[in-house]
Amino acid sequence: MADTQRTLIIAKPDAVQRGLTGTIISRLEGRGLKLVALKFRVIDESLASRHYAEHQGKGFYAGLVDYIGSGPSAVMVFEGSDAIAAARASIGSTNPVAAAPGTIRGDFALQVGRNLVHGSDSPDSAAREVALFFEADEIVSYTRDSDRWVVE
């Protein structure tokens, strides 16, 4: 696949509690992205602090760390052509009220603090975030027969 990327996706505790984990996976797989790693876990404070390190010192930082650890999350790696941009387009704007209809946030969320899903925002962030949550041997490389119908 040309321009193949990996991106970290987290179905946050609000998505899990609302039974939207499968919908999130389905939307991203339906887009053509390939699920290559998945863990179901409660994200502890130490890991949450490292994940959100770029926001340290901001007024909303403590709330982010507390919330992401408030219940179980589905932490995933998706792979595909321009996976980061494709996933973010499927997820929608950080502010769900501004998110386009047809996006995950546009269809299922109302507030920034309960916006259901995290997606890496750049190749550097994706590499850092994937490495925080997954060891290299936990990411499965495989051929999917349908890929030839998704990517030229």
Distances (CA, A) of 52 to 25, 33, 79, 125, 128: 23, 25, 22, 11, 11
Query: Is position 118 annotated as part of the catalytic site?
Result: yes
Rounded to 5°, angle at Cα 109 from 104 and 115: 85
> How many angstroms separate the CA atoms of 77 and 139, rounded?
8
Instruction: Single out the catalytic residue among 9, 28, 118, 129.
Output: 118
The rounded distance, in Å, linking the Cα atoms of 5 and 84 is: 7
Q: Which sequence positions are flagged as catalytic?
A: 118
